[in-house]
Amino acid sequence: MALDILGPLPVTTKDNQYVLVLMDYFTKWPEAIPIPDQEASTVAEELVRAWISRYGVPMILHSDQGTNFNSALFTELCKLLGILKTRTTALHPESDGMVERFNRTILNHLSLFVSKNQTDWDTYLPLFLLAYRRADHEATGSQL
């Protein structure tokens, strides 16, 4: 499973400024969760709430070199849950192309929906995910 943070984006009326992006390598199933900051505690809490509680504990969690992903808290969470934590190589984020492409897709599609002042992008994430999952995908040959 891939994990990344998109942002900072304009602060929304709900005080969100980042998107926690989670994506399964096998099924390509994405989750995009608006978050107010990129602190390790926020990321860990949302990972458990939005992914682990729904789909189970991933065997492998792959992220970039972000300090939030390499914090003592995040390391301990992975250890407790038996998750193998891997990282992209330094200065080479494109080694996780799947999630980086998905981040660009999020930005491109949100730009079509958001209001002029861009403070409501977080309300459109669920609709974007619905449209994305319902589209036919080349990698899977079907909808997600």
pLDDT digits (tens, 9 = 90+) for 16-53: 999 999 999 999 999 999 999 999 999 999 999 999 99
Q: What is the pTM of this model?
A: 0.91
- CATH code (residue 38): 3.30.420.10
Token pair of 88, please? Answer: 């992209």
Q: How many domains does the chain have?
A: 1
65 confidence band (pLDDT: 50, 70, 90)? confident
Beta strands in the chain (DSSP E): 2-6, 18-23, 30-35, 60-63, 84-87
**What are the DSSP calls for 92-123, one per residue?**
-GGGGHHHHHHHHHHHHHHHHHS-TT---HHH
Contact call for residues 8 and 17 (beta carbons, < 8 A): yes
**Residue-level length of the chain:** 144
pLDDT at residue 143, rounded to an integer: 78
Contact call for residues 5 and 19 (beta carbons, < 8 A): yes
Contact call for residues 22 and 50 (beta carbons, < 8 A): yes
pLDDT at residue 45, rounded to an integer: 97
Q: 59: part of which helix (H) or strand (E)?
A: none
Q: 124: part of which helix (H) or strand (E)?
A: helix 121-134
Domain that holds residue 68: 2-140
pLDDT digits (tens, 9 = 90+) for 87-123: 887 665 555 688 989 999 999 998 887 777 789 999 9
